[in-house]
Amino acid sequence: MKSEAIRCAIKLYSEPTLLARFSDPFRQLPRGITELLRLVSSDKALKKISALNHLHADLLKTILINYIQVVLLREENSDLRKLGLTHSADLSQCKLHYKLLMNIFHPDKAQHKTNPHYYTQFISRAYKNIKSNPQSFNFTKTSLPHRASTIQKQSNAQLNSNKTRSKLRNASSLIKKHLTKSILSLFLLTIFTTIFLLLNTSPPQFTVKKTAPIDSIPSNQTSKVIDTIDKTSTELLSSIKTP
């Protein structure tokens, strides 16, 4: 049998000493609980599986129901465990397990004739608690296909966000590159303009008034100039007192 839960049920029936280990509320449930519940709920499937494994159908049903009673429907178990669920389940699977368990332990089929509602009260209470507050059990009211769709949408949104950030980084890099080129071009233009102005600016012109040389003085005035120079020299010399 492929279902791990069904194999565990048969092993527990053949080795009752394993009860403490299998019924440990902290022990993870085996895979295939849903298949086990479906098998118990269908007499046709029970007969087919029993024939393939050389078991009597009633014996196989007793083995599987015994596993459900001693492993799942213990009073001290959590609501999830009572319904054979894990935290990875959703409400659609919760509802399925509830219906299968209620069908298995219907009062008309109950083995506890003195109290036919002994197990159905556990099942009903657990399902009611989970349905009224699914968030506390770490799964939502959405079905699995819808949840997958939500995850896909979140993934697409994250991908689009990453693309947008990448485009912004590329645009920022491009702006910085163009800005650097513009600043460099402006700097070089300023330098060239300054050099051009320095080279093309003529130095200030100073006008020097030239005095006419002696040769350019008319001959009729030469004697007057010389007399004036001599007279001035004589006056200067006489003003100087000898020690």
Q: What pLDDT was estimated at residue 91?
A: 87
Domain ranges of the chain: 4-139, 141-171
Which pLDDT band, with edges at 50, 70 and 90, does 148 fall under? very low
Please say whether the beta carbons of 67 and 9 come within 8 A: yes
> pLDDT digit string (tens) for 204-235?
555 555 555 555 555 556 566 556 655 565 55
- Tell me the C-alpha distance between 153 and 175, whole Å: 33
Q: Where are the alpha helices (DSSP H) in 28-143?
A: 33-41, 43-52, 57-67, 79-82, 91-104, 118-132
Percent pLDDT > 90 in the chain is: 30
- In this prediction, residues 3-7 reach a mean pLDDT of 89
- Tell me the C-alpha distance between 114 and 188, whole Å: 103
Q: How many other C-beta atoms lie within 10 A of the C-beta of residue 179?
A: 10
Residue 242 pLDDT > 70: no
Tokens of 131: 């349905």
CA atoms within 13 A on the CB side of 92: 6
- Tell me the C-alpha distance between 40 and 62, whole Å: 9
- Tell me the C-alpha distance between 188 and 210, whole Å: 46
Which pLDDT band, with edges at 50, 70 and 90, does 186 fall under? confident
Average pLDDT, the chain: 77
Residue 147 pLDDT > 50: no
Q: What pLDDT was estimated at residue 143?
A: 42
> pLDDT digit string (tens) for 89-123?
888 999 999 999 999 998 876 555 556 688 899 89
